[in-house]
């Protein structure tokens, strides 16, 4: 009788509208947060931090961002890799140009710059719809990557064309650069993930989110009932790019440390984030986390099994990985087109009635 609304009396509107209406969910949420903050930093080692946890957290932000655009506003974008590159290069330029600037502001400002770029590339969405738009956003992807490759100003004229993050610290702890402790990088990213997921969840419940969903469901009808498509689409592009830009900045500054644009932010990245969103579930914040976890964990797992356990050559294992990832995506779409979030929803429905389903 754990998972019930029954007996949980709502005595105010605020309580009636809370994100987790079921007490069990609420406790689960608090316990997860407490575990993530109080326990994980102490048991985290280098391997787990670099291979699983950090990419998971950072990609979760990117997936939330893309989910706002595709899942909530219905505008398909394949340019997320390019926008992550904008975030990364903005962070690099800010870090090198203003060494005194606090790293948190650097990351937030890079998000802001990416939001502006995203809105610029979102402008055609007012005319172009559906797949035409998806392909049009590829223009952003290719153009931005080319730009960061060709204009030396962006990488401070370094000979290798790479950008590398200088060391910055927060409250006396080193966050970026080679000397950062895994636990500090982890907590730094976790803070961003927490705030941004919370903001996204509440934004999508509010007036803006409803406008986005109206545009997604039928843009002409939405326009007739008074949603301004220009505003709705551009805010969606802006907010989404803000998230993706922050993810790009974190990926570069905290996780990678050094990056080369074509390699780190190529079109594969766009597809990777798109996979996360689709596999996790369109229009669901939880789904973004689930999708990110799935896409980060699976290759690690496969590699461990095939190279570690069965000692196959790595190139063979990587081909096999392609086959399995591709196959899994197809199977997933066939079994549950609405993603992991839908499975979770179904499980919760079942749980509410358990053990007397009739």
Partner 1 sequence: MSANFYFGIEVFLNGMMAGVLYSLVALGFVLIFKASGIFNYAQGVMALFAALTLVGFQNGQIPFSHLINAIFGTNIHHFGWHMPAILAIIFTLMVMILFAYLVEKYILKHLVNQEPIILFMATIGLAYFMEGFGDLMWGADIKKLDVGIPQGGNIWLEEHTAFLGGDDFYGFYLDNLDMLATIFAGLLVVSLVLFSQYTKTGRALRAVADDHQAALSVGISLRAIWVIVWSIAGFVALVAGIMWGSKSGVQFSLSLIALKALPVLMLGGFTSIPGAIVGGLIIGVGEKMFEFLIGVPFLGGATENWFAYMLALLFLVFRPQGLFGEKIIERV
Residues that bind partner 1 (CB under 8 A): 70, 76, 124, 127-132, 134-136, 138-139, 142-143, 145-146, 149-150, 218, 220-221, 224, 267, 271, 274-275, 278, 282, 312-313, 315-316, 319-330, 333-334, 337
Q: Which residue is listed with tokens 């932000």?
A: 61
Question: Cβ closer to partner 1: 48 or 320?
Answer: 320
Give the single-character DSSP code of 161: S
Separation of CA 279 from chain center: 13
Longest Cα pair distance anywhere in the chain, in angstroms? 70
DSSP, residue by residue, 43-95: H--HHHIIIIIHHHHHHHHHHHHHHIIIIIT------HHHHHHHHHHHHHHHH
d(CA 279, CA 290) in angstroms, rounded, equals 8
Segments of 140-214 assigned E as strands: 163-164, 169-170, 173-174
Tokens matching residue 153: 């100003």
Question: Cβ closer to partner 1: 144 or 250?
Answer: 144
Question: Cβ closer to partner 1: 199 or 302?
Answer: 302
Question: Cβ closer to partner 1: 234 or 246?
Answer: 234
Question: Cβ closer to partner 1: 149 or 162?
Answer: 149
**Beta carbon of residue 306, minimum distance to partner 1 (angstroms, whole number):** 10
**Beta carbon of residue 271, minimum distance to partner 1 (angstroms, whole number):** 6
d(CA 201, CA 33) in angstroms, rounded, equals 16
**Beta carbon of residue 126, minimum distance to partner 1 (angstroms, whole number):** 9
* Whether the Cβ atoms of residue 261 and residue 145 lie closer than 8 Å to each other: yes
- Name the region of 107 (left: φ>0; alpha: ψ -120 to 50; beta: rest): alpha
Tokens matching residue 188: 């730094």
**Beta carbon of residue 188, minimum distance to partner 1 (angstroms, whole number):** 33
Question: Residue 258: enclosing H or E segment and its boundaries?
Answer: strand 258-259
Q: Which of 75, 65, 104 is nearest to 280 (CA)?
A: 65
Give the single-character DSSP code of 164: E
């Amino acid at each position: 009788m754990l998972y019930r609304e029954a007996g949980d009396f709502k005595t105010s509107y605020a309580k009636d509208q809370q994100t987790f209406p079921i007490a069990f969910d609420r406790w689960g949420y608090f316990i997860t947060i407490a575990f993530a903050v109080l326990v994980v930093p102490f048991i985290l080692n280098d391997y787990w931090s670099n291979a699983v946890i950090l990419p998971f957290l950072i990609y979760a932000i990117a997936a939330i961002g893309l989910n706002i655009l595709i899942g909530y506003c219905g505008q398909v974008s394949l340019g997320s890799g390019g926008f992550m590159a904008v975030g990364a290069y903005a962070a690099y330029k800010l870090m090198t140009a203003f060494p005194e600037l606090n790293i948190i502001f650097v990351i937030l400002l890079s998000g802001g710059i990416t939001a502006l770029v995203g809105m610029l590339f979102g402008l055609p969405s007012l005319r172009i719809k559906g797949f035409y738009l998806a392909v049009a956003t590829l223009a952003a992807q290719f153009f931005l990557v080319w730009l960061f490759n060709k204009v030396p100003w962006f990488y401070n004229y370094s000979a290798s064309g790479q950008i590398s993050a200088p060391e910055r610290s927060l409250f006396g702890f080193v966050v970026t650069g080679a000397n950062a402790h895994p636990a500090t990088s982890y907590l730094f990213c976790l803070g961003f993930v927490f705030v941004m997921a919370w903001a996204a969840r509440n934004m999508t419940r509010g007036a803006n989110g409803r406008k986005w969903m109206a545009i997604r469901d039928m843009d002409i009808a939405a326009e007739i009932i008074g949603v301004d498509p220009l505003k709705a689409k551009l805010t969606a592009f802006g907010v989404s790019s803000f998230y993706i830009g922050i993810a790009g900045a974190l990926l570069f500054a905290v996780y990678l440390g050094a990056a080369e644009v074509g390699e780190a932010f190529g079109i594969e990245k766009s597809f990777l984030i798109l996979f996360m969103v689709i596999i996790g579930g369109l229009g669901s914040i939880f789904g973004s986390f689930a999708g990110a976890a799935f896409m980060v964990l699976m290759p690690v797992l496969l590699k461990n099994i095939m190279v570690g356990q069965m000692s196959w050559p790595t190139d063979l294992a990587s081909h096999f990985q392609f086959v399995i990832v591709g196959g899994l995506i197809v199977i997933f779409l066939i079994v549950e087109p609405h993603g992991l979030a839908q499975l979770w929803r179904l499980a919760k429905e079942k749980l509410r009635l358990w053990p007397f389903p009739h």
